[in-house]
Structure 1
Amino acid sequence: MASRWIPLESNPDANYSSWVVLNSWSIKAGLVPSVGFGDVYGLDESLLAMVPQPVKAVVLLFPISPESEARRKTEDETIASKGQPELDPTIVWIKQTISNACGTMGLIHAIANSDATLEPLSPLAKFIEQCIGKTPEERAKLLETTPLFADIHAQAASSGQTAVPTNLDTNLHFTCFVAAPSPSGEGPRVVELDGRRNGPIDRGACTDLLADAAKIIRDQYIGDSQSMQFNVMSLGPSFA
């Protein structure tokens, strides 16, 4: 990892909404105020129905555990050996090379791979434009060498409810889910974007991004876990 940032806070036990931190980052980066992140309070149908539509991306914060690391390793090896459906070549995916930058990575992946509107000439709009045609590693280097993103990340990380930690090690990680066209023309796909993986991951046909992502999160991440450190947020119409 090139350097280490302060982890972004997204605390499901906090007495304020987690989207405050994510939206602080997004507004500084250039997301228009009419679009923002909001908490998804549960993964059952009635609670999903409360989420403002249309959902443009879903962001998940989850605890890294020996079990999750074993699943990640097995899945990466399976994809490497057997492949996966062809993915949309215009997907913007960035390899994570900065420790604790997964929050920023998740937000960039969510916004860059949706139709969320950015302010013209904003830092994120310029960054996404510069990413076009570059490899994931070149995009990572671009992120490393753009001090403004480190500053925005630090400001957002410092705006959380809890004090900035002196120990920057964390076992929490962000990933995100977006809808992407299928190059084969078979309809949109749910694609998971996680900078720690070997690339974008096809998660199957997309009929309703929020409902589909909720099922993936239940099946692939929560399962029988007893942890309370999961947090799900959606990118969509702002209700703040």
Structure 2
Amino acid sequence: MPGMKWIALESNPEVMNFWANKVGLDPFDSQFCDVYGLDQELLAMVPQPVKAIVLLFPWPGPWKEYLIREDEKIKAEGQPPIDPNVVWVKQTIGNACGTMAVIHALANCGATLKPDSPFAEFATKCKGVSGEERIRLLEANTAFAEAHAQAAVAGQSVNPGFDHPPHAYTAFVQAPAVPTGDGETHGKRLIELNGGRDGPIDRGASSDLLQDVVAYVKDNLLPLGDSVEYSMIALTAVQ
């Protein structure tokens, strides 16, 4: 729906768990938790296995320029084929990038969903339909909108209301590698899912989701700004 806008979501695992649990994530299977830093001793504190990562980063500044250049390169040169089962939805709702990251995480990580829940129904309907149809499914989803409205005011910081916050979100998951015709393909790929981009982005081979995301952030994003401007939240198995 053109012009639709939500209140920005706080980068807070409690807020994300509130939204996810309300729309159908099984809280006894998986929950979001903080990643307190990029040093190995802090990463070791994150419960395993890690199923998805939500990254908050500054916006716009040099980050926007970096993403534009990358989108242009992908358009010109292409990228490795991405598993067709990966669910990506273009963001058309203003300030919804936090919720979009949570949606992309839940839809692609294999977390257990409550049967007949709003998210289970949404994920099922997204399979095998066009990108435009996925947009319509999201824009018409009143359960998601209501959960977002409640979650957006449940955080600890001062909410910016409908103003655009100075940051953006993206999600990372693993997906099976796609055979290219040169032989049998094994292993997993690191896939970035950002509703503000042109589609899913392949970030290379992946054997450890958390470590691979941290490596990508250190190598590509931290040179653009100070590390304190980032926050990372992991969707992990409940211990």
Q: TM-score range by the shorter chain?
A: over 0.9
The yes-or-no answer on 1:162 pairing with 2:157 is: yes
The yes-or-no answer on 1:21 pairing with 2:15 is: yes
The yes-or-no answer on 1:171 pairing with 2:172 is: no
Cα displacement string for residues 53-111 of structure 1 (whole angstroms, at most 9, x for unaligned residues): 00000110111132111111110010001000011000000000001111111011001
Say how many residue pairs are matched. Answer: 232
Shift of residue 166, structure 1, vs aligned partner: 4.0
Residues 73-84 of structure 1 aligned to structure 2 (within 5 Å): 73-84=68-79
Which residue identity lines up with residue 19 of structure 1 in the other structure? P
The yes-or-no answer on 1:4 pairing with 2:5 is: yes
Residues 200-219 of structure 1 aligned to structure 2 (within 5 Å): 200-219=200-219
**TM superposition score normalised by structure 1:** 0.92
Query: Structure 2 residue aligned with 1:130, among 125, 134, 137?
Result: 125
Runs of 4+ with deviation above 6 angstroms: none
Q: Which residue of 2 aligns with 1:195?
A: 195
Which residue identity lines up with residue 7 of structure 2 in the other structure? I
Pair 132,39 (structure 1): closer, same or farther in 2 beyond 3 Å: same
The share of aligned pairs that are identical, in percent, is 48
Cα-Cα RMSD: 1.4
The CA distance in 2 between the partners of 1:166 and 1:180, in whole Å, is 35
Shift of residue 220, structure 1, vs aligned partner: 2.1
The CA distance in 1 between the partners of 2:117 and 2:162, in whole Å, is 32
Q: Which moved more, 1:224-233 or 1:34-43?
A: 224-233
Structure 2 segments unaligned to the other structure (5+ residues) = 180-184
Which residue identity lines up with residue 64 of structure 1 in the other structure? W
Residues 34-183 of structure 1 aligned to structure 2 (within 5 Å): 34=28, 35-183=30-178
The CA distance in 2 between the partners of 1:162 and 1:45, in whole Å, is 28
Q: Which moved more, 1:116-125 or 1:158-167?
A: 158-167
Q: Which moved more, 1:222-231 or 1:197-206?
A: 222-231
Structure 1 segments unaligned to the other structure (5+ residues) = 11-17
Q: Which residue of 1 aligns with 2:182?
A: none
Which residue identity lines up with residue 93 of structure 1 in the other structure? W
The yes-or-no answer on 1:225 pairing with 2:225 is: yes
Which residue identity lines up with residue 100 of structure 2 in the other structure? M
The CA distance in 2 between the partners of 1:49 and 1:166, in whole Å, is 35
Shift of residue 165, structure 1, vs aligned partner: 3.0
Cα displacement string for residues 22-54 of structure 1 (whole angstroms, at most 9, x for unaligned residues): 101111011111210000011122211111000
The CA distance in 2 between the partners of 1:4 and 1:98, in whole Å, is 5
